[in-house]
Every structure is written in structure tokens, then in C-alpha cells.
Structure 1
Amino acid sequence: MPAAKKSSAKTKAASAQAKTVAAPRRRASDDPVESIKASILDHLTHTFARDTAGATPRDWFLATAMSARDHLTSRLIKTQSAHNDQNVRRLYYLSLEYLMGRLLISSLQNAGVYDHTRQALEELGVDWEALRASEDDMGLGNGGLGRLAACFIDSLATLDLPAIGYGINYEFGLFRQAFENGHQVENPDSWMIYGTPWELMHPEYQQEVQIYGEVENVFDDSGNYRPQWVNTHKLVGVPNDIPVPGYGTETVNILRLWTSHATEPLDLNAFNEGGYVEAVRNKATSETISKVLYPNDKTENGKELRLVQQYFFVACSLKDIIRRHMRVEGNGWHNFADKVAVQLNDTHPAIAVAELLRILIDEESLDWDEAWAIITKTFAYTNHTLLPEALEKWGVPLYARVLPRHLQLIYEINRRHLETVAAKWPGDNEMLSTCSIVEEGGGKQLRMAHLAVVGSHAVNGVAALHTELLKKDLFPYFDTLFPGKFRNKTNGITPRRWLLDCNPALSALITKTLGRPDWPRNLDLLQALGKEADQPAFQQEFMAIKRVNKVALAETIQELCGIEVSPDALFDVQIKRLHEYKRQHLNLLHIVALYRRLLQNPDLDMVPRVFVFAAKAAPGYDLAKNIIRAINVIGARINHDERIQGKLKVAFLPNYRVTLAEKIIPAADLSEQISTAGKEASGTGNMKLALNGALTIGTLDGANVEIGEEVGDDNIFIFGMTVEEVEAVRNAGYRPYDFYYADEELRAVIDWIGSDYFTPGERHAFAPLHHSLLDGGDPYMVLADFRSYSDAHLAVDAAYRDSPRWAKMAIMNTARVGKFSSDRTIREYAEDIWNLPPVPVK
């Protein structure tokens, strides 16, 4: 047989064999429901080797997630091809946290296949709720910083903006919180123990980075001084991509997360000699870097690990950004800043300024001025805090050990920066000290916020008040030195996750009322709901949905806390990270005051209240953990006291996370946003709760100010001192004992908490809290705001009794907070900071 015919025969035989093997696979159908069913069953059988009879809810979840991922992957490839073909300008978002939650529903909704997938699973006889519950929250973040980043990458894709998010692929999240005798107990959050179906590993794009070592002074062949970073320890970062689909668009961007590996995972000689632990020590040490989100930094080892984590993800990300750019541009540094925009989300990635400088000078041999021009055109920085103690600083000795070359470069950046300062304020040594990136007092420290400000072309705050305070109080000297650099970008939330996904009944009512199913892409459309706010029929529908959500939350409270609560009570919610400035202890003082009033007058006419808390305290934050225990222990006493006739209940839900927030927020009546004025940068929980029809009780702090402006004074409960009043009281010499002695009820409540009434046999159980409020100086002025806060709650009580009034207020909150969509926020970033045009994918 001629060769050509033999080849043809072999091809036909191979084709026939392939058809035989592939026959059991189900073919796609023109019917979308049938096509999805076929895809799910195909993955169940061929990806996970399960049959329908023995499949568990998790098997069904995995198969469904893989089916959804298939749909997203084809769009991802099309998106990346469009971006590459057009050589677009891209945004690269660097964040140490992405609090993603569960991805199944949001992925299905954004991909436009949610309804068809639900129907497909129902026809297959699969329990949808059991399937959903099988997915773990992704342990990639802690609080508002990570949740904001997750909202932003959703909006970036929805707005067709070319963007990639970069972070760390933590094997363990912050921790799983439990309570024992009221104490917070931290258990490993092993969310990755069974892997995740959403990640796409790309080992071909792995990056090698170096740490430790020392810097040698050498000269090149032209006699020029060329410092060399030598004797370093090498690490490998392997990227794992999570597809991020936009809503109502074809765009699918990626979140690229780095996993750390050793360059040589096994010492074979040590292993063969029986040193099995020593053989894998390098592997274990290297993989520790992406092991846990926020290792406790109370120890020097913890601090060092945090620094290494930050540098690892920044170095990997910058290498990847440069690889992408050079793939198209060759050695085109001339237009790097034209094609690359990098946003530093807080100070955690601020080392990127020095790392890019190192690459440009040490590896690419650019001169300083050219390199610095590229850097300052590339980077922008988002500040997230007004607390000086929260602005990241690193000891110089630690930097010298871990990143010796970067320390040299930061010193040189600072030297040149201080020349500019000296020219602006000649002879002003105090201003030189204030503006310096290196803090000289005590042990030398590097001020990472200063480095980020100096190395960026734009610095933004995250609420109008926050940005003004940045310019006025935190960085007034930089605002003068760099006019126009500081600008505001008020935070926002994605309405897809925080209304469409978590509150489907309310979403359906909105769609029916507006006649516009596209409102999740244009939240300003909600303003039309205001026309219905006075209509009794609409009020009844709106509040009936709220009550159903409250019934569901009551069941969750019973399941998690063993507390029976009435859905007819007012659900008063404070859910956020546990921190003194967020003032959960102010809420607690008011609860104890209500309890005392009820004990002294059991017939007191008050609206029954259920106080709902959810919060984690950082493992090393002892006072925050003491506040948690106080809420739990005092709450337990209140919950079991029959004398108050069930008028007061306190539930602290353990292990706060996105999935729990999605249950609490739609059921909330009242949103507690009670930080000391001038301390909360923005807040985003306040936006989520208001969007779902909760009324805010809050100070004029952060985004509360703008929420009040949007919803109107009649639809919010504002209390407490303003920023200016806080400053005036502090400057006059704040004395908490003055308020303690002037207010009999407040004094009794504080003394009661300081006794052993709630903790028999433990006289000093809440001594840290008691000390903080009085002898510790009450740093966040809880006592000063207590009476105003208590009076505001009386106004809440009166409003809730008037059902039509409360319903109207709730509806107006939902109708008027469209401004707080993260789509608006990201559009402003794109136009004002990133110069990033949208690129629709056809």
C-alpha cells in the first residue's frame, strides 16, 4: 500500500477509535437548559468519575462549577485575544486581599446562565441549596479592603475595562472563628483542603524572585558602579487564575494569584541519607509564604513573614506585568507607562516602587531620572486609613536583612525627595523630618505610605470626608508639595453580589416595578422606586420580603447560636471587623443600658430588639478579643433572663465571612455605623445594608456623610460629635471621667460591666475594656457620644412603631443609594487616574 494511503487508513482508524471512546459523552443541544445538563453530567462522569446515583452535593457543585468555568473560559480566551490584538492599555490592581466569598452564583449570574442552570439542576433532581452550601468561601481576604477589591474587579469586567488583579493564593484564610466560654477561638481556615474548581494553573508563567543575601559593590566594564544583589534565596511563584466575568458583557478578566514554591523542593542527598525532614525543609519554608493570610505579627518571625509575603507577590506581579508588556513591545520601556497602570491597594504593595526601580536600574541599566519618570507615571496609590498607627512601617534592620538592595534604593529615593522638600521649605528641619520616608525617632523605620505617595502620580482617599482629612490632617505637607496629586474616589459596592445575588426576592420586585432588567448595570435606575415609597401596596410587598429574610436569619441564629429570636423584632445589625474605632463597645454599653432599664421597669414600652453582631478580632488584638467576650457573655445573660420578657436578644454569629453577610444584610432593619467621626475612611457595609433597605444609625464619618446626603435627613439617624467637635474636645483635653460622673446611667452601666455580675468568680474578666473606657483615656470617645447615641435609638424606636413611615424610609434608602455602585467608582478611577478606555469584546 502506498505511504499516502497507509497514512489515510491510519487516520481513519484513529478517527473511528476516537469516536468510539467519545461516544458516551453527551452532545451539546440548541436548548440552553439541555446543553447545561449535558455539560454538568459530562463533568460529573468524566472529570470526577461519579454517577448520578452516588453523587454527593459537593460532586454536583464541582460538576456545575466546571460547567460554568467552561462557559467563562471560552469568553476569557476571546477577551484576552481582543486585548492582545489591540495592544490595549491595561490596569494591574495589586492587593494583598480579595474577599471573594463563594463564586458559583455570581459566576452564573454574570455569565447570564443562572436561570438555565437552576432549571437544569432541578430537572436532574439536584437539591440546589445543598449544592450551594457545598462551596467554601475563598479565604483570600479579611475585611473591607478585600471585599472592596472583589467589588472592583467585578466592576472592571462589567465596564469592559482591560484589567488583571494580582494577589496571593493563600492556602489558609485568616482563621475560622468559634467561641468557647465567650472567648474567640481561632481555628485554621483550610478552605483549600479539597482544592477549588475555579482556578486555572499556569506553571508556564511562573516567576523566580529572590530575598535575603547582601549587596556587593562592583564595577562594570566601563568603570561604572553597579551594585549587585548576591547570595540570595530563590523562590518560585506559580500563577493561578480565577476568571472574573462582567455582568451583561462578554468581557472576562482574570484574578492572578501567586503560590510560592521552592526552586529545589527536595534535597535528594539528604533524603537518601535518611534525613527526610531536612530533605524537604527548603520546600516547607518556601511554601510558608503563601500558606496563611496575615500571620500574627506580634513576633519578629511574624513580621518577617509578612514582609516576605508582600515582596513575593509584588515581585512576581511586576515580573509578570513586564513579561506581558515586552511580549508585544520587545524592549520598549519608552512606552511602558503608556500601556501599564498599576494601582496600589493600601500600603501592602508599596514595595513595588522600589522593586520596579531596582529592575530598571540594576537589570535594565536605565539612568535614575528616566527610571523614576516611568515609576511615577505608572503607579497610583489608594489610602484606606486615617489612623497613623495603621500606616505601615518596617524596621530598617528587618529590611536590611530581607531586602538589602531595596533598602539602599529607598534611602536614595528619600535623599532626592528631601532635596525637593528642602527647596520648598528652606531651613525647615522639622519639615524634613515629617516628610522623610525614613522615620528617625527611636529605631529607624520605613514609612511605606510616604514611599507610596512619593512614588505615585495620584493618591486617592475613599470618601469625600476621608480625602479632605488626608489633605488637611494626615498628609498636609504632601498636599502642598504635590498640588493636585490627592483626589477623592468614594468607595462603592457591586450591586450584582450585594442585591441581585444575595436578595433575589427584592431584586425580582425591583425588576417588576421598574420594568428594567438592566438595573444591576445602572443602579441610578433605582431612583424610580422613590415614586412607590408612599404606596401602601408597594410598602407591603417590600416589607414582606424583608420579613421573609428575617425569618431566614432567625433560623440561622438558632442554628449557629442556639438563640430563638422573633422576626417581628427590630433587627439591629453591626457587622464588621472588630476594632476599637468601630466602637462595638459603644453598642454594648447601650445594650446593657436597655437591659438595666427593663430590669428596673419590666413593663417598659419598647420595640423588641435583636442585636446581631458578627466580627473577627485579629489574633494579636487582645482588647478587641475582650470586647467580643463581653458581648458574648453579657448577651448570654440577657438572652436567658425571663424578667425582660424576650424584649432584648443578643446574637454574636461566629466566623463572619461573605456568605454569612449575604444572609444578614437582606434581613437587617438597622445598620450600625458608629465609628468615631474622623476615624473610618469610608466603610462599605453601610452601603450594602442601605441598598437592601436597612436604615443607618451613624456618626458623620466616612461614607455615612454621603449616604446621608443621598437618602436625606429624614431617612437616616445621625448622632454624635462631628470631626471638628472631636478635634475640639481632644485639643481641650478629653477627660472620660467627666462624662462618667455627669451621666448616672452611663456610670452605672460601666461599673456593672466592671463587676463580676456577668462573670461570677471572674472579678476582672472585662478589666481591659473597663480600663480602656476610663483610666485608658477612652481613645475613641465612646463616653462622649454615649448619650447622643442613646437618644438616637429612642428616635429609631419611635420610627419603627410607625410601620408605614419605616417602610417608606427603608424604600427610600434602597432607591437613593445608586451612587454607591462600584461601577461609578471604577468609572471615575478609569477616567481620572488610570486613563483607561473600555474595550468591548465582540
Structure 2
Amino acid sequence: MPSGTARKERAPMHGSSDERTRTGMSPESLKRAFVDSMFYVQARYWEVATPHDLYMAAAYTVRDRMLERWIRTAETYRKADARTVCYLSAEYLLGPQLGNNLINLGIVDSARQGARDLGIDLQEILDQEPEPGLGNGGLGRLAACYLDSLATLSIPAIGYGIRYEHGIFDQKIVDGWQVEDCDLWLTNGNPWEIPRPLLRYPVRFGGHTEPYTDEHGRFRVRWVPELDLYGMAYDTPVLGFGNDNTNLLRLWHATAGRSFDLQAFHKGDYYGAVNAKVGAENITKVLYPNDEPEVGKELRLKQQYFFVSCSLQDMVRVHLQHAPNLEGFHERFAAQLNDTHPSIAVAELMRLCLDEHGMDWERAWEITRRTFAYTNHTLLPEALETWPVELFGRLLPRHLEIIYEINARFLDELRMRYPFDPERVARMSLIEEGPVRRVRMAHLATVGSFAVNGVAAIHSELVKSTVLRDFHELWPEKFHNITNGVTPRRFIQLSNPDLCGIITDLAGPGWARDAENLRTLEPHADDAAFQQRWQAMKRAAKERLAARIREATGAVVDPQSLFDIQVKRIHEYKRQHLNLLHIVALYHRIKQGTDSDPTPRTFVFGGKAAPGYFMAKLIIKLIHSVAEVINRDPEVNQRLRVVFVPNFNVKNAECIYPAADLSEQISTAGKEASGTGNMKFSMNGALTIGTLDGANVEIRDAVGHENFFLFGLTVAEVERTLAEGYRPWEYYRSHDELREVIDLLRSGLFSHGDPDLFRPLTDSLLQHDPYLLLADYPAYVEAQARAGDAFRDPAGWTRMSILNAARTGFFSSDRAIREYCRNIWQVEPMPVSLAAGNGSVPAARADPA
């Protein structure tokens, strides 16, 4: 039993006659259901139940209430023959589900009261839930936010993805270095998912193709694969907030066609007896296997095709329940490709139409192009996926043939459109020519979709003017902008209940479905009493984070100090090391006596580096090394502290965002597509120090330029600086403090006398500096000085904090989904009512698939 919990003796539960144990919402009904789940599901009696048993019983209690809505939703959608959004994403960073589902069901108070009656601390139960790490960062978190909003807005939708057995790694810190540990999120079971063992589809790899003539004399192609395996569905209900709609997240797990070879076992080949099972399950074993070796690249491509093939076969199955053939498939489904990972779907849907359903090319291509829409999430060349033709053809020979045919027809169109521009034709080809010929997946997604969108205003313009410029000139009507958004249910209601209470007192409970109602905070920004309440809310959040930091790292931080926070994936373009240069500068000033009274600050870092990304791992080591020197120096540590919160994930983020005073959004202009952490910080009243990059531009416009600490080169200035021949060494020589800071890093002060430890970083900055840290350093330091001075005025800072939160309603994922529905998917809400079904579920409708 968790410490501090005094569990009461179980007493018989008696609900009123109209309260049903499995669906009632009152504290009494929840208590009775909880005790029943402990007994009948966990098979535990009260006195020996573990904290995990308590969590599982609570989860099943909540899930029962979700399933009634889920089945009613499936029945409603089916009867209405509703057009459905299918969101195809390789990542879903869902976060813990119990607290979020309590909020969306509207039973937080009832659950807390029921737990209290039983002598249980609800928060201790919530803390037991593991993090399902099915994503790497912003892409997966965005997908989870969009599923939440789709259900909240009553939009028929299915999320499709991969059920990774091991998700994003658990991050350990050993001597300041990141060490990756296996994510064992499924070890103790997942109460939110429902296995569908009979819902499985074949997926094939390798082999060869054979042309033949069908019974009507038409040319056809048969794929003769080398490997067959299956994808089995695991379903998770996704609740809407404030309604009865519950949508579906369907994740695919790879299984062998035959998991055990009895003949091999009898012959003594015990390993060979399970080879097929092991080989198949490797496909969904781990999120993003290291793709540096060839086998890693192959496994990634297998993962992408695997989940796309299962998903499209599932969509075909659903469609054929209502129609005799695939005509009209695009009218039933709008399929969104979340980045290039699922873009092989274009070739797979063509294969299904041509080879499995006998369509001619023109009709198959029309259906395909009217089914898919593509979201571009990056401008970084290394993140725009391409695959070697040799690898692609070896794993997916039929799909390579189809891509070649798509490309041949597309290039013929281009030659007619641009007869005297062969360079343009070569640039737009789906095949990149060179020493290693490669398939360009972003080009495939663009050609095979009816819409392409970026994820922030500046990003969408850069997509049109850089990476997809030729395509925009060809099809300008195809390109859109839909700025990302985040769900206020998780990132205010769940993570910051004190702020939720403040907003609800002013705007009423409906604000979480209409985030523009955050504007009701604005008239109170100068009210002294309201400011005091706001400051108490922020102080409580900082105290919670300080306690979490002490628990995780042993470091003691001062909640009265300015909490300056940068939490995101560790990457050179996100420039955590620019932040560190400023920290070392502050340290140097104090030691030199040139700044004897700086604004007290706690610098908080968090984030994971890709396992094979040496420079990012070295940045993590530098953070810890700088922290070690500063935090142990009594001359400095009363004014500066540096901490790194390990294993940054959704669960940890829920404690971090509400506590931030200053949000670091300092990527090089033109490199960040949008960002979503910037939105979560602002919603919780943090001020931003940032560049004009990604959604920072729109956040600054929304909250007011005077409430945002802007610095740095613009996109145009970055391009011009690089074009003119950027020489970072000259910035080093001409800026005294910058030179002293880098010299300190090179001296060995932060590496126990080893001058070579951080040399790769300092050499990169001085010789190359591809992300222009040294060029932006003076402006960054000046903006930080303005932020420090502003924090010394509590009333002025609090006013800016309130206005940041009040003016961020635009960045709700509900707004983004409304724009997708209106501008891209052309879908309408389909509200669900439990009352319509009188509380009973017909057996024939019991499968929400």
C-alpha cells in the first residue's frame, strides 16, 4: 500500500436502484465498481492488494464507463454511414490515461470522493500508471492531441499506428551521460487496450512479381512474396470531453502466420521452432530502431509498410461492409499522412485497388489521390525520408514497380508542362538519381495526395518556397497551413488544476471545449487581488516541480527564483548549448564580480538525445558538467542553479509546464516546423524567450509583442548570413564575453581538467556553427537580461503571465481540427447520445470495429 494511505475496511456497497455498477457515475457507484474490479478482475482481496492492483482496479472501473460510450458511438457512426477521418501516424505519445479519462468523463470529483471514502489517495493511484512511450516527441504528442480533439468535436475518426512492445527508451543519467534503458511499459499489462485476435491481416515482404493476363484479357501483376506475417489489432477507446463520443485508436502488433514449428522442435531444433515468431515480432518490438546499420534501415521500412498495410486493409474491410466494391472509398475515408512515415500508403492503396480488386490504373489513381492528405513536419533535409531503391525493391518489389509507374506518368505530365526545363523535372521526380538511387517519400506523398499542409504559418510558407517549391508552383491550390494545437484538457485541466480552477471561476466549465474563453482572464490582468491568486497558483506549481526535481536528482532549487526551462528533444538546431553559453556567462560574471546581484534563476533542462546522435549526447553531458560546477560553488549557487530532469515524457511534462516562468524556444529561425511545447508553456502562463521560428511567430502575435522576449536572426537573415559565407570565428574574436565563455569550456573547468572532452562541441561552433549560435549570442544575452529585469517586477511579470495564458486559445488542438475538417477533410460532426440507446447495447453492435 502506498505510504500515507490508510485503507478503510471494505463494507458492502449499496447503490440506488437506478445506479448500475458498471456505468454509474456517483461516488457510491464508483466505489462499488472499484471493489468489484479488485475482486473479479484483479482477483485480489482487500488486505493484500498492491498499489498496482489499486491502479488496475481503478482503470477497469473507468474503462467500463468508456466502453458503453464507445459501442454506442460505433453504432451511431455505422447507422449514419458517416465519413471517417483515418489518422495514420507512426507515433502516438498518449501519456497516462487514467487522469485524462476521469476528466473527459467528468467524474474527477466523484472519483476523489469515492477513493477518500475507501481510505485511498487518488493521486497515489494516478502515480502508479506507466508512460506508454509510443512516440519520440512532438509528432506523437500532436497525434494524441488530435485524437482527443476529434472525439471532443464529435468527428468520426480512427487513429492507426503501431503497438510497439518497447517504446521510446527510458533515459538514465550515469556520470552526466545519457544511458538508454529498455521501456517496459507493457510489463504489468495495459488495461486500456482491447486485443482483437480475430482482426488480423496478412503483410508480405520480399519475393518477386509475375505478370499475367486475367480472365478478361487484362494485364495484371501478381506479387509472390518471400515472407508472410500478420498484423493483429489492439484497440484503445479515445474519449471526447463534454460529450458521449468515443473514437478508436487501433494499433497493430506483428505476429507470425505460424508461431511454432512442431516438426523443428521434434528434431531438436528448439530455436528454429520459434524463428518465425521471433522474426515477425521484431517488426513491432521497438520504436524507431537505430537506422545506422543496414538492418536498422530495413526494419524501419518494414515497420512503416506493416502498419500502413494493416490499416488500409482494415479500411477496405469496413468499406466493403457497406459497398460492393472500392468505388467511393475516398468518399468514406479521409486519410491523413502524419509526416512521411506512412507515405508508402499511396503505393499500397494502389496495389490493393489494382491487384486485389481488379481496378484499372486511372480509376485506382483517382481514388488514391482523393483519399490521402499529407502533413509536412520538417524542413530538415535529413528528416525528409528517402529509401535506397535497392532496399525498397528487395523488400517491396511490387510497390517499387507501382512507384516507377506513378513517376513515369507524372514526369510525362511535367515534360508537357515544362518542355524546356529538364532540371525541374529531375528535381520533382519521385526517384533521386545519384550514386545511390533513392525513393523520395515526401514527393510520393505530395503527388499522391489531394492536400498538403504545413504546421505553422512561417513553416507552411517555407514548405512552399523551399522543399516543395516546384510542387507548389505546379499545384498552388493543394497547399494549406494549419498551425498545430494542443489539448487544454491534458495541459491545463489535468496538469494544472489550480489554473483550471481560476479559469472555471471566471469562464464557467465550458471553457475547455472553447479555449477562446481563456480571454475572460484578460480584464483581470491588472487586478491586484487576482494577481495574488495567480502568483499563489504559480508558486504552488513551482514547489511541486522543486519537489519532483529533488526526488529525481537530489538537487535543491528555490521556488522563488526565476524558473527558466528548456525541455524538448536534444538537438543542435534546438540550441540547448546556446542556453548553456548564457549560463556560463552568468557564472563568469559572478566569479569576476561584474554582476554581483543577478536575478536568481533556476535553469531546468530535459529531453532525450537519439541513441546514435553523439553531439546531442555531448550536450547532455555538458549540461550536467556545468550544473556540477555551478551547484557546488557557494559563491554562485545561491543565485544560479542548473538541473536536468531525466526521462522527459508526458508524465513529467505535466509537472514542468505549469511551473515555468520563462520558456526557452530558441531554435535557429527556419528550422523548427512549429513546436507544441511553446504552446503548452504559454497556456500555463510562461513568458517566451524565442526566435521568429515555427509557431513562435504566431504566439508572439497572439500574446502581444511586449509580452514576448524576441531575439535572433530572421529566416531571411539566416539565409543571407550563410550565403555570404558565415565565419563564426570572427564573432568569437570580436565579442569579449563570448570568447571568454568558449575559452572556459575549452579550458577543462567543466570537465575536471580535461580540455578535450567538449572539444567536438567548441570546434564545431568555431569552425562551422551550422545553426548560428555565435551569430545569435549577443542578441540572446540581451533578451535574457530584459527577462531578468522584468522578473524583478512581480506585478509587471504577473500581468504578462496572465496575458500569455489569456491569449493562447487559438493554440487549442480543437481549433486545428476544425480547420482540418473545414479546409481539408470535408467532414461533419456526428454527435452521439447514450440516451438514444436507452442504456442497452444490442449484441449485434457490440464490436466497435
What TM-score range do you get, normalising by the shorter chain?
over 0.9
1:688 maps to what in 2?
680
Task: Determine helix, strand or coil for the equivalent of 1:490.
Answer: coil
CA distance in 2, matches of 1:715, 1:241: 44
CA contact (8 A) 1:29 1:35 kept: no
Q: 2:497 aligns with which of 491, 499, 504?
A: 504
Tell me, yes or no, if structure 1 residue 542 matches structure 2 residue 519.
no
Partner of 2:166: 172
Task: State the Cα distance separating 1:353 from its structure 2 match.
Answer: 0.1
Secondary structure of the structure 2 residue equivalent to 1:140? coil
Which residue is 2:278 aligned to?
A: 284
Aligned to 2:374: 381
- Is 1:440 matched with 2:467? no
Q: 2:393 matched to which residue of 1?
A: 400
Partner AA of 1:717 in structure 2: F
* 1:334 match: secondary structure: coil
What is the CA–CA distance in structure 1 between the aligned matches of 2:743 and 2:131, rounded to whole Å?
A: 41
Aligned counterpart, 2:290: 296
Structure 2 matches for 1:26-425, cutoff 5 A? 30=18, 32-331=26-325, 333-425=326-418
> What letter corresponds to residue 433 of structure 1 in structure 2?
A
Mapped partners of 1:402, 1:620: distance in 2: 25
2:740 paired residue number: 748
- In the TM superposition, residue 222 of structure 1 has moved relative to its aligned partner by 4.5
Separation in 1 of the partners of 2:630 and 2:244? 53
> Secondary structure of the residue that 1:276 maps to in structure 2?
coil
Q: Distance in 2 between matches of 1:767 and 1:69?
A: 53
Counterpart amino acid of residue 235 in structure 2:
D
Contact 2:204–2:225 (8 Å) recurs in 1: no
Amino acid at match of 1:767: R
Alpha-carbon distance, 1:747 to partner: 1.2
Give the deviation of 1:766 after TM superposition: 1.0
What one-letter code is carried by the residue in structure 2 that aligns with 1:197? P
Report the alpha carbon displacement of residue 762 of structure 1 after superposing the two structures with TM.
3.0
Q: Tell me which residue corresponds to 2:635.
A: 643
* Alpha-carbon distance, 1:29 to partner: 5.6
Asked whether the 8 Å contact 1:530–1:811 carries over to 2, the reply is yes
Offset at 1:754? 2.1
Give the letter aligned to residue 778 of structure 1.
Answer: D
The Cα RMSD (Å) is 1.3
Q: How does 1:580-599 map to 2 (within 5 A)?
A: 580-599=572-591
Question: Any idea what the Cα deviations from partners look like across 1:553-575, whole Å, max 9, x if unmatched?
Answer: 11111111111110000000001
Q: Secondary structure at the match of 2:168?
A: coil
Question: Contact (CA 8 Å) 1:341, 1:834: kept in 2 or not?
Answer: yes
1:271 alignment partner AA: F
Are the structure 2 counterparts of residues 428 and 71 from structure 1 closer, same or farther at C-alpha, using a change threshold of 3 Å? same
SS in 2 for 1:547: helix
Q: Indicate the residue corresponding to 2:710 in structure 1.
A: 718
Q: Is the 8 A contact 2:77 2:156 kept in 1?
A: yes
Please state how far the C-alpha of 1:774 moved relative to its aligned partner. 1.5
2:814 aligns with: 823
- Tell me the alpha carbon deviations over residues 419-470 of structure 1, each in whole angstroms, 9 at most, x when there is no partner: 1211221131211111011000220011100000000000000001100111
Moved more, 610-619 or 128-137: 128-137
Deviation at 1:364, TM superposition (A): 1.2
Structure 1 residue 749: deviation in Å? 1.1
Higher mean C-alpha deviation, range 49-58 or range 826-835: 49-58
Residue of structure 2 equivalent to 1:19: none
User: How many Å apart are 1:207 and its aligned residue?
Assistant: 1.1
Structure 1 residues 122 and 280, CA gap change in structure 2 (3 angstroms):
same
Post-superposition Cα deviations, 1:113-147, rounded to whole Å, max 9, x if no partner, equal 22111111111111222211110011211100000
Secondary structure at the counterpart of residue 237 of structure 1: strand
Q: What residue ranges of structure 1 are gaps of 5+ in the alignment?
A: 1-23
Q: Partners in 2 of 1:37 and 1:29 — Cα distance?
A: 15
3-state SS of 1:643 partner: coil
Q: Does 1:450 align with 2:423?
A: no
| Contact in 2 for aligned 1:602/1:644 (Cα 8 Å) | no
Distance in structure 2 (CA, Å) of the matches to 1:486 and 1:643: 56
Q: Secondary structure at the match of 2:724?
A: helix
Q: Is the 8 A contact 2:630 2:637 kept in 1?
A: no
Contact 2:283 2:302 in 1 (8 A): yes
Output the CA distance in 1 between the equivalents of 2:595 and 2:358.
Answer: 80
Quote the offset at 1:601 in angstroms: 1.1
Corresponding residue number in structure 1 for 2:838: none
In 2, Cα distance between equivalents of 1:134 and 1:274: 43
Give the deviation of 1:474 after TM superposition: 1.7
**What amino acid sits opposite 2:421 in the alignment?**
D
Higher deviation after alignment, 186-195 or 156-165? 186-195
SS in 1 for 2:617: helix
Q: 8 Å contact 1:26–1:39 — kept in the other structure?
A: no
CA distance in 1, matches of 2:709, 2:50: 48
1:428 is matched with 421
C-alpha deviation, 1:213, in angstroms: 1.1
TM-superposed deviation, 1:602: 7.5
Question: Does residue 1:573 correspond to 2:565, yes or no?
Answer: yes
Note the 1:595-634 alignment, pairs <5 A: 595-601=587-593, 604-634=596-626
Letter in 1 for 2:343: A
Detail structure 1 runs of 4+ shifted over 6 Å in the superposition.
24-28
1:25/1:42 contact within 8 Å kept: no
Unpaired runs of 5+ residues, structure 2, are: 1-11, 20-25, 834-849
Partner AA of 2:285 in structure 1: K
Residue type of the alignment partner of 1:695 = L
The question of 1:801 aligning with 2:795 is answered: no
Q: Secondary structure at the match of 2:48?
A: coil
How far residue 164 of structure 1 moved from its aligned partner, in angstroms, is 0.3
Between 1:468-477 and 1:150-159, the stretch displaced more is 468-477
Counterpart AA for 1:321: M
Aligned residue pairs, count: 817
- 1:205-241 deviations in whole A, cap 9, x for unaligned? 2111111111123333454432211043111111111
Distance 1:232 1:54 in 2: 52
What amino acid maps onto 2:398 in structure 1?
Answer: R
Q: Is the 8 A contact 1:57 1:127 kept in 2?
A: no
Residue 822 of structure 1: CA displacement?
0.3
The residue type equivalent to 1:607 in the other structure is T
Work out whether residues 461 and 490 of structure 1, in 8 Å CA contact, stay in contact via their aligned partners in 2. Answer: yes
How far does residue 542 in structure 1 lie from its aligned partner after superposition? 0.5
Give 1:26 deviation, angstroms. 7.2
Worse overlay, 182-191 or 360-369: 360-369
Residues in 2 aligned to 1:761 and 1:605: alpha-carbon distance in whole angstroms: 29
Give TM-score scaled by structure 1 length: 0.96
Q: Which residue of 1 aligns with 2:693?
A: 701
Query: How many angstroms apart in 1 are the aligned matches of 2:633 and 2:531?
Result: 35
1:533 and 2:530 aligned:
no
Task: State the shift of 1:633 in Å.
Answer: 1.1
Please give the alpha-carbon distance, in whole angstroms, between the structure 2 residues aligned to 1:129 and 1:754.
47
The structural deviation recorded for 1:786 is 0.4
User: Which residue identity is paired with 1:809?
Assistant: M
- Alpha-carbon distance in structure 1 between the residues aligned to 2:15 and 2:257: 43
| 8 A contact 2:338–2:376 mirrored in 1 | yes
Determine the C-alpha separation between the residues in 2 that align with 1:603 and 1:714.
26
Q: Match for 1:306: what amino acid?
A: R
Give how far 1:724 is off.
1.1
Deviation track 1:7-27 (CA, whole Å, cap 9, x = no partner) reads xxxxxxxxxxxxxxxxx9976
| Equivalent residue number for residue 830 of structure 2 | 839
Q: Distance in 2 between matches of 1:444 and 1:312?
A: 23
Residues 589, 595 of structure 2: 8 Å contact kept: no
The one-letter amino acid of 1:262's match is A
Three-state SS of the structure 2 residue aligned to 1:456 is coil
Give the Cα separation in 2 of the matches to 1:285 and 1:755. 50
Q: What amino acid is the match of 1:171?
A: E
Please state how far the C-alpha of 1:33 moved relative to its aligned partner: 1.0
8 Å Cα contact 2:205/2:225 also seen in 1: no
In structure 2, distance between residues paired with 1:218 and 1:752? 71
Q: Alignment partner of 2:248: what SS?
A: strand
Paired-residue identity, %? 51
